[in-house]
Amino acid sequence: MSCKKLITKGIISDCSTQGNAGIEQVIYLINRSQIAEITYDSTIDTKITDIDLESGSKAYKLVGQKQNLNAFSERVINDTVSDMYRHGISFNSFSMSAEDIENIDEMQDFVAIVERKNKKNIDGTFLVYGLGSGLFISSDTYNSNENYGARMLEATSLDSQLESNSAYVLVKTDYVTTKAFLEGLV
């Protein structure tokens, strides 16, 4: 792959392509070390057509409400090497059970798959973050008198391990098949 990137198609940002903001309030989390194989589209390196997990491994659901869950990417401009991207998700955790505290305290090196609310085109509905280098808890704040007692968390790419693309897109054949695939990983 060439380091010199070129524009390869026109960009239309008008009422015909404007979508809905936000993501559905379920994020699929996968321990990156348990991914056995990723199948990429043969023509577009940001499109994923399959994810195989190691035997006995599974994905986990992070479930929120309203706008509790968020996903983002940020281009990191560099003068000496190719620009890279910081991937991230943010979420609140209301549960303070011993098991939940331990689970969140130990979260590291995982992949997040989000479903955008905008579903005009299946290609772009399911976005994958942290695939190359993983997501790691980067902010973790709990204050019993703020945010309804929620633990506020953010997981991002490590500064020294950024991603080469702003996101990856997971596409099976259609929306129903892709959604069923993700539910089958859980």
Q: Is the pLDDT of residue 86 over 80?
A: yes
Binned at pLDDT 50, 70 and 90, residue 1 comes out as very low
HEC assignment per residue over the chain: CCCCCCCCCCCCCCCCCCCCCCEEEEEEEEEHHHEEEEEECCCCCCEEEEEEECCCCCCEEEECCCCCCEEEEEEECCCCCCCEEEEEEEEEECCCCHHHHHHHHCCEEEEEEEEECCCCCCCCCEEEECCCCCEEEEEEEECCCCHHHCEEEEEECCCCCCECCCCEEECCCCHHHHHHHHHHHC
- pLDDT above 70 covers what percent of the chain? 92
* Global pTM exceeds 0.85: yes
Q: In this predicted model, which residue has the larger pLDDT, 125 or 1?
A: 125
Please state the rounded mean pLDDT for residues 158-185: 94
In the chain, where the domains are located: 23-185
* pLDDT score recorded for residue 19: 64
pLDDT at position 114 over 70 = yes
